């Protein structure tokens, strides 16, 4: 019996997947050729060529690599800041009932406000510049991080605290040895969600106030009529977003092997 290189399931996934992508590209190409769509929208071929070109020829200030790097830099700074502050505040509010009682009302007012909504305020306060963008990204991820951390802090299994006490743990050891480790999976969930909201925030901020970066790139496509800029911008966003999310998932897998979460 001839040995199969791939299981039937794997083969199906490949075949149907490729079929799906090809049909999509076909519809796209046909729509460009035969309808009004093509007057504004570039064909798949044009898009691909433009993408390749963008690696060497700058659009605006940078090549596409430069734009991606700029956006990434902004996201990273804002994200790290909002995660650190978010975790700190979340732990504070999660473990101290007093701190929670005091801070909760103010936080509840800020929480439902989307990070993006802070843009006009930020511009009036700080002006147009890098700091504003960092601020927006910070606000984009902050409240989510706090909520998830509070969740983690409060979900701590009371029983496990009792077990540790029976084994002789002293009060000052409780936090580092029991409370914090059991909150980690929840903190990671928060990190994942706030990464995607931070990414969204940087795009919107760049569309409104920047002169470089992937968000600007997409907007420029709309403003200059070069829709192909839109397409390559979106593709790069999608690609980078995907990579960031996978990196984070991998990090979680390694640090939380012990967790039974799906």
Partner 1 sequence: MKKKTKYALISVASLIVFIAVWQFLSTSGILSARKLPPPSKLFNTFIYKLQNKKPDGSMLGTHIWISLQEALYGFALGMVIGVPLGISMAWFDKFDKFFKPLFDIIKPIPPVGWVPIMITFFGIGMMSKVSVIFIASVIPAIINSYSGIKQTKDVHLWVAQTFGASRMKMLFTIAIPSAGPMIFTGARVALNGSWVSLVAAELIASTKGLGYMIQTARLIGRIDIVFVGVLVIGLFGAMLMGLLTFIEKKFVKGGRR
Partner 2 sequence: MVSAELEKRESHAISIEHVSKSFEVDGEKSLILDNISIAIEKNEFLVLFGAGQCGKTTLLKMLAGLESVTKGKIFINGSLSHGFDPNVGMVYQTTALFPWLTVMGNVEFGPKVRGVSKAERRAKAQYYIDLVGLTGFEKHYPSQLSGGMCQRVGIARAYCNDPSIILMDEPFGHLDAQTRYMMEEEVEKIWDKEKRTIVFVTNNIEEALYLADRIIILTECPATVAKEYVIDLPRPRSLVDETFLRLREEISTLVELREGEVYEN
Which residues of the shown chain bind partner 2 in the complex (CB under 8 A)? 159-160, 162-170, 173, 177-178, 181-182, 184, 257-260
Site string for partner 1, 99-138 (x = CB under 8 A): -xxxxxxx--xxxxxxxxxxxxx-xxx-------------
105 binding partner (options partner 2, partner 1, none; Cβ < 5 to 8 Å by kind): partner 1
Nearer to partner 1, 48 or 164 (CB): 48
Q: What is the DSSP letter of 6?
A: S
Distance, CA of 205 to CA of 219 (rounded, Å): 11
97 binding partner (options partner 2, partner 1, none; Cβ < 5 to 8 Å by kind): partner 1
Q: What is the DSSP letter of 225?
A: S
Q: Name 17's Cβ contacts closer than 8 Å, sequence gap at least 6.
A: none
Select from 213, 65, 194 the least CA-distant residue to 140: 194
Strand partners, 62: 59
Q: List C-alpha distances in Å: 125 to 62, 131, 132, 194.
A: 28, 11, 9, 24
Span 189-228, contacts to partner 1 by CB under 8 A: 196-197, 199-200, 203-204, 207-208, 215, 218-219, 221-222, 227
Distance, CA of 256 to CA of 262 (rounded, Å): 12
Q: How many residues bind partner 1 (CB under 8 A)?
A: 59
Interacting residues toward partner 1 by CB under 8 A: 12-13, 15-21, 24, 40, 97-98, 100-106, 109-121, 123-125, 196-197, 199-200, 203-204, 207-208, 215, 218-219, 221-222, 227, 230, 233-234, 237-239, 241-242, 245
């Amino acid at each position: 019996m001839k040995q199969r290189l791939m299981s039937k399931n794997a083969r199906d996934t490949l075949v149907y997947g490729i079929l799906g992508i090809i049909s999509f590209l076909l519809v796209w190409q046909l729509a460009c050729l035969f309808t009004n769509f093509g007057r504004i929208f570039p064909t798949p071929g044009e898009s691909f060529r433009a993408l390749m070109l963008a690696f060497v020829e700058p659009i605006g200030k940078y090549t596409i690599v430069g734009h991606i790097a700029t956006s990434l830099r902004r996201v990273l700074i804002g994200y790290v800041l909002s995660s650190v502050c978010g975790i700190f505040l979340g732990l504070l509010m999660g473990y101290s009932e007093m701190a929670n009682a005091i801070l909760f009302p103010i936080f509840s007012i800020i929480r439902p406000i989307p990070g993006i909504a802070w843009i006009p305020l930020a511009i009036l306060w700080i002006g147009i510049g890098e700091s504003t963008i960092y601020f927006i990204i910070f606000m984009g991820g902050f409240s989510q991080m706090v909520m998830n951390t509070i969740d983690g802090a409060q979900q701590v299994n009371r029983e496990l605290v009792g077990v540790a006490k029976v084994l002789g743990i002293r009060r000052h050891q409780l936090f580092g040895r029991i409370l914090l480790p059991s909150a980690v999976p929840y903190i990671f969930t928060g990190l994942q969600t706030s990464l995607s909201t931070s990414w969204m925030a940087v795009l919107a901020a760049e569309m409104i106030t920047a002169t470089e970066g992937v968000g600007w790139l997409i907007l420029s496509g709309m403003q200059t009529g070069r829709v192909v800029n839109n397409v390559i911008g979106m593709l790069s966003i999608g690609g980078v977003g995907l990579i960031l999310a996978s990196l984070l998932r991998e990090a979680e897998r390694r640090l939380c092997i012990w967790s039974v979460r799906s």
